[in-house]
Amino acid sequence: MPEKKSLIRFLVIYIFSTFLLLGIGEYFYYKLAQNSKIEKQKIILENRINNYLKQRVKIRQFKNFNILENMAIFRGKKLVASNFNPPKIDFNKEIFIKDNKIFYLKKLIRPFGEIYLLTFKELPKDDLIQKLLIFNLFAFIVIFFISLILGKIFLSPMKKSIQNLEDFITDSTHEMNTPISIIMSNIEILQIKGVENKELKRIINASKRLTQIFDNLKFIKLKKDKKITSINIKEILLDRIEYFEITPKIELQDVEIMIDKEDLIRLIDNLLSNAKKYSKKFIEIQLTKNYLLIKNDGEIKNINNIKKRFVRENQNEGVLVWGFIL
């Protein structure tokens, strides 16, 4: 059903766009939270270094000093004292993270050169991602039900319009059935009586066209499940050529495809009907394993109109009719 497809599309677009915006917001929130956590840990490490320096009025021979736990001292970027194995250090960075540890590097300028004090601590366990995942799960459930309600509200007018259209088709097909049957019956009576003239022939052609439109309306309304079977296109073509009473130049091969028979008949009928209606003298039909071609001698003046509905180059002729089946 069209309304179901529209509802599914609305749900997909609404949920995707909502979670996209939500994801962007969560990303920036997570980055801010991480930066805030790192800044807090930096302050703790910085205070540790500062407290250590307050206890050491003069720094001369660091090798003789009792250094803090998780602390290393460098003179001129050369390690002189440490109670842990320091990682590779970029001395231009004050703060860096490695192996879930946060390191703080303090630079000191002394008369005898540059001194670097390095300390670190384990980063606290981060359960923010887990909390965000749980939040997203509940958010998805809430957003899904909200989008479902909104979708039904927004699509309600379309559903009503579709129902009205279906009711109109049903009523129209019901009303058309009786006059079409009367016309066809009277045509048969006139033919039995031997009446043959241009006027009757026009009535016959018009009634066939009307019958075709009527069948299409019934097909739209009543056709639910398609029966896909192997169909010989050549046989269908010959039958419909006889039905439309045309004598085209034909070149047909036996070709079978998997298709619903009623769909194929309507496709061919539309092409043959237009080819006959707008042909001056010439209709050509070719069928190969690669394509089906139905062509008349109408003239194409604007190639851009070839796919537009209800387009005529003038009041008496239509464009070339092409049909392809791959």
- What pLDDT digit, counting tens, does each position of 296-314 carry? 877 777 777 766 666 666 5
pLDDT tens by residue, 36-68: 888 898 999 989 888 888 776 444 444 445 567
Q: Would you state the pLDDT for residue 61? A: 45
Residue 44's nearest CA partner among 97, 99, 100, 123 is 123
Q: Would you state the pLDDT for residue 56? A: 64
Tokens 């048969």 sit at which residue? 188
Q: How far apart are CA 104 and CA 239, in angstroms?
A: 89
Q: Would you state the pLDDT for residue 235? A: 92
pLDDT tens by residue, 68-88: 788 888 888 888 888 888 888
Percentage of the chain exceeding pLDDT 70:
84
Q: Would you state the pLDDT for residue 321? A: 47
pLDDT tens by residue, 199-241: 877 887 777 777 777 777 766 655 556 788 999 999 999 988 8
Does residue 25 sit within a domain? yes
296, exposed or middle or buried, with CB in 10 Å at 0-12, 13-18, 19+?
buried
Does residue 138 sit within a domain? no
List beta partners, residue 283. 296
Q: How far apart are CA 182 and CA 176, in angstroms?
A: 10
Q: Would you state the pLDDT for residue 232? A: 92
Q: Would you state the pLDDT for residue 105? A: 92
Does residue 212 sit within a domain? no
| Token representation of residue 193 | 């009586």
Residue 163's nearest CA partner among 5, 2, 7 is 2
- The number of residues making up the chain comes to 326
Domain range enclosing 245: 227-326
Residue 37's nearest CA partner among 106, 127, 105 is 127
pLDDT tens by residue, 136-175: 889 888 888 888 888 788 777 777 777 777 777 777 766 7
Query: Domain boundary at 102, 122, 142, which?
Result: 122
Q: How far apart are CA 42 and CA 63, in angstroms?
A: 26
Are 220 and 170 contacting, i.e. CB atoms less than 8 angstroms apart? no
Q: Would you state the pLDDT for residue 222? A: 56
Are 12 and 157 contacting, i.e. CB atoms less than 8 angstroms apart? no
Q: Would you state the pLDDT for residue 104? A: 92
Q: Phi then psi for 128, rounded to 5 degrees?
A: -65, -40
Q: Would you state the pLDDT for residue 188? A: 81
Q: How far apart are CA 133 and CA 28, in angstroms?
A: 15
- What is the average per-residue pLDDT within 248-277? 86
Residue 239 amino acid letter: D
Q: Would you state the pLDDT for residue 323? A: 53
Query: Domain boundary at 92, 122, 152, which?
Result: 122
Q: Would you state the pLDDT for residue 64? A: 46
Residue 92 amino acid letter: N
Q: What is the DSSP letter of 239?
A: H
The per-residue pLDDT of the chain, averaged, comes to 80
- The CATH number of whichever domain residue 247 belongs to comes to 3.30.565.10
Does residue 60 sit within a domain? yes
- Indicate the number of domains in the chain: 2
Are 19 and 140 contacting, i.e. CB atoms less than 8 angstroms apart? yes
Does residue 304 sit within a domain? yes
b/e per residue 197-220 (b: at least 16 CB within 10 A)? eeeeeeebeeebeeebebbbbbee
Does residue 69 sit within a domain? yes
Query: Domain boundary at 87, 122, 157, which?
Result: 122
Q: Phi then psi for 308, rounded to 5 degrees?
A: -85, 145
Predicted confidence band at 11 (pLDDT cuts at 50, 70, 90)? confident
pLDDT tens by residue, 90-142: 888 899 988 888 999 998 887 778 889 999 988 888 788 888 888 888 988 88
Q: Which residue has the higher pLDDT, 264 or 216?
A: 264
Q: Would you state the pLDDT for residue 22? A: 87
